[in-house]
Amino acid sequence: MSSFLQLFHSFPLKVVAGHGIYLTLEDGKDYVDLFSGLGVNLLGHNHPDILTALSEPFPIHLSALLEHPLKEEVASNLTRITGFDKVFFSNSGTEAIEGAIKLMWKWLKKRGKNNERVIAFRNSFHGRTLGSMTVTDLLSYQGFPKLEFTTVFLPFDDADMLTKEIEHGCSFVIMEPIQGAAGVKIASQDFYKTLSILHREFGFGLIADEIQSGLCRSGEFLASTLFGIEPDIVTLAKGLGGGLPLGAILLKERIADAIKPGDHGTTMGGNYLSLRLSKVVIKNVLELLDHVRNLDTLMKDILIPQLLSNQKIKEVRQKGLFIAIELKDNKADEVKDVLFEKGFLVNSIRKKIIRLLPPLIISIDELKNAFQQLNEVIENFNF
């Protein structure tokens, strides 16, 4: 009997090694990792630059009371790339969301504009702690307690309803530019444009959760850029720490000015080793950006049309290497199991959806082969 509390439906074999986009499991076979550790391993497994950074001596832990140059260096890299003014580091994505809500709350209170009414979106996912769950629609059925503000969940991609609710009053809006756990849901350009216009006109706060979509996965460093969104706060995590726990809150100067020491804090956030790997990740994903865009074009022009000729596939949604294949029947779990037998690791969600978050280092040939195998498995599956 295992002593570990298992809360995930894990694959049946244990991992023994990893290299590039491949994981070696205990059966001795190499598996193509098309989900990269829930979107974390942007550079694949055992990337040489990550290994070099890990091989050099480093302090095991420095508290927030001791400064080290990597904090400023990584924060400066992020502000330079994104146009934000300040960065605060956390341990995870859900902590980044919690911190973003707190910092937004302080700013709104200082402005006298907090009516304690928040707009989020249906099928959203922002984390599993109580604050982030308050604005997470996908977990609302679980019945855990929530923060004491009103959260209004609107349909994602309904510009008219968004306008109506904003006109009723809103403290802040929190959104994923691309909804990941919903199955890579992308709104219309009209929706993003309407949101941006309302943001400027009404002056509510806007938090963009880029925990899955950020760090070049979408074909831009931030997916917000793709859609012309200008948030007040952005959250990052997942691959930011190169496989170690690290999240970040990016914010504008006007919000930072409302925050004083003691309003927020962390023990392990922005620890030395995670930031050392983050420096490596940021450098490498920027160098991979053109490669991701080339793969995006390949998928749109050739690979996705080939999938859509498959009568068992309802829809393919994709930006960069953020991909969802929606089936016509509730067979995603079974398709995932068959793909596993053939040496491919994918994620199945919401019964009909195969979600792919491959490492950004995946080659053209590796991506072509993966799509071919996916298509064949789905085509031959007995629906």
The rounded average pLDDT for each run of 10 residues, N- to C-terminus, in the chain (383 residues) is: 90 95 98 97 98 90 86 98 98 98 96 92 98 97 95 98 97 98 98 98 98 98 98 98 98 97 94 96 98 98 98 98 98 97 97 98 98 97 79
SS3 state at 67:
coil
For position 95, what pLDDT does the model report?
Answer: 98
Contact of 100 with 92, CB cutoff 8 Å: no
For position 64, what pLDDT does the model report?
Answer: 81
For the chain, where are the alpha helices, taking DSSP H only?
Answer: 36-39, 48-55, 69-82, 93-111, 130-134, 159-167, 189-202, 223-227, 253-256, 272-287, 289-298, 304-308, 332-341, 364-380
CA-CA distances (angstroms) from residue 194 to 114, 163, 188, 205?
A: 22, 8, 10, 15
Residue type, 371: F
CB atoms within 10 A of CB 325: 28
For position 62, what pLDDT does the model report?
Answer: 85
For position 182, what pLDDT does the model report?
Answer: 98
SS3 state at 32:
strand
For position 237, what pLDDT does the model report?
Answer: 98
Please tell me the pTM assigned to this model. Answer: 0.97
For position 226, what pLDDT does the model report?
Answer: 97
At the top level of CATH, the class of 66-287 is: alpha beta
For position 174, what pLDDT does the model report?
Answer: 98
Q: At what angle do helices 159-167 and 189-202 cross, to 10 degrees?
A: 10
CA-CA distances (angstroms) from residue 90 to 61, 74, 147, 381?
A: 14, 13, 20, 43
CATH 3.90.1150.10 is held by the domain 288-380? yes
Contact of 367 with 298, CB cutoff 8 Å: yes
Q: Where are the domains of the chain?
A: 66-287, 288-380
For position 310, what pLDDT does the model report?
Answer: 97
Please report how many Cα atoms fall inside a 13 Å half-sphere around the Cα of residue 306, on the Cβ side: 15
Distance CA 302, CA 136 (A): 35
Tokens 């037998």 identify what position?
341
For position 67, what pLDDT does the model report?
Answer: 84
